[in-house]
Amino acid sequence: MIRDNQKILNRIHVIVDGILLALSYVFSYYLRFYSPLRYFLLFDEKARFYPLVKYSEILIFLIPGYLIIYYACNLYTSKRIQSLRVGLWNIIKANFFGTFYFTFILYVTNETHISRFLIFVFFITNIVFDTIFRALLSYSLRAARKKGYNLKHIVLVGYSPAAEAYIDRILVNPQWGYYIHGILDDTMEQGTQYKNIKVIGTIDTLLEILPQNRLDEIAITLSIDEYSKLGQIVGLCEKSGVHTKFIPDYQNFFPTVPYTEDLDGLPVINIRNVPLSNTFNRVVKRIVDIFGFFASLLVFGIPMIVVAIIIKCTSPGPIIFTQVRIGRHNKEFKMYKFRSMEVQSELKEKKAWTTFNDPRVTKIGKFIRKTSIDELPQLFNVLKGEMSMVGPRPERPFFVEKFKEEIPRYMIKHQVQPGLTGWAQINGFRGDTSIRKRIECDLYYIENWTLGLDFKILFLTIFKGFINKNAY
Could you read off the pLDDT of 148-178 as tens digits, one per residue? 677 888 999 999 888 998 999 888 887 778 8
What is residue 472's predicted lDDT score, i.e. its pLDDT?
A: 46
What is residue 297's predicted lDDT score, i.e. its pLDDT?
A: 93
pLDDT at 252 over 90: no
Could you tell me which CATH number the domain at 152-251 has?
3.40.50.720
What is the overall mean pLDDT for the chain? 83
pLDDT winner (highest mean) among 107-121, 322-336, 450-464: 322-336
Bridge partners, residue 93, by sequence: none
pLDDT at 198 over 80: yes
State percent of the chain over pLDDT 90. 26
Residue 328 DSSP one-character state: G
Greatest CA span in the chain, whole angstroms?
Answer: 84
Alpha-carbon distance of 85 to 141, in angstroms, equals: 17
In residues, how long is the chain?
472
What is residue 82's predicted lDDT score, i.e. its pLDDT?
A: 65
Q: What's the pTM?
A: 0.56
Higher pLDDT: 113 or 66? It is 66
Q: What is the pLDDT of residues 36-54, one digit of tens each?
A: 665 555 544 545 566 778 7
pLDDT at 1 over 60: no
> Domain coordinates of the chain in residue numbers?
2-146, 152-251, 277-465
- Which residues 6+ apart lie within 8 Å of 313 measured at CB? none
Say if residues 185 and 199 touch (Cβ distance below 8 Å): yes
What is residue 381's predicted lDDT score, i.e. its pLDDT?
A: 96
pLDDT at 413 over 70: yes
What is residue 342's predicted lDDT score, i.e. its pLDDT?
A: 76
What is residue 264's predicted lDDT score, i.e. its pLDDT?
A: 76
What is residue 309's predicted lDDT score, i.e. its pLDDT?
A: 93
What is residue 458's predicted lDDT score, i.e. its pLDDT?
A: 92
Q: Exposed (0-12), middle (13-18) or buried (19+): which is 108, by Cβ within 10 Å?
A: exposed
* Coil, strand or helix at 260: strand
Range 310-328 average pLDDT: 90
Range 379-399 average pLDDT: 94
What is residue 215's predicted lDDT score, i.e. its pLDDT?
A: 83
pLDDT winner (highest mean) among 138-147, 214-223, 268-277: 214-223
Residue 383 DSSP one-character state: H
Q: What is the DSSP string of 174-240?
A: GGG-EEEEEEE-SSSPTT-EETTEEEEE-GGGHHHHGGG---SEEEE---GGGGGGHHHHHHHHHHH
CA torsion through residues 368, 371, 373, 375, sign: positive
What is residue 349's predicted lDDT score, i.e. its pLDDT?
A: 53
What is residue 390's predicted lDDT score, i.e. its pLDDT?
A: 95
CA torsion through residues 78, 83, 86, 91, sign: positive
Report the C-alpha dihedral over residues 235, 236, 239, 242, rounded to 10 degrees.
-110
Which of 266, 157, 159 lies closest to 217 in space, CA to CA? 157
What is residue 146's predicted lDDT score, i.e. its pLDDT?
A: 72
H helix intervals, 343-450: 346-351, 363-370, 379-384, 397-406, 423-426, 435-447
For the chain, the C-alpha Rg in angstroms (whole number) is 29
pLDDT at 231 over 90: no
Q: What is the pLDDT of residues 438-458, one digit of tens each?
A: 888 998 899 889 888 999 999
pLDDT winner (highest mean) among 225-234, 254-263, 300-309, 366-375: 300-309
What is residue 207's predicted lDDT score, i.e. its pLDDT?
A: 84
Q: Which strand (E) or helix (H) includes residue 374? A: none
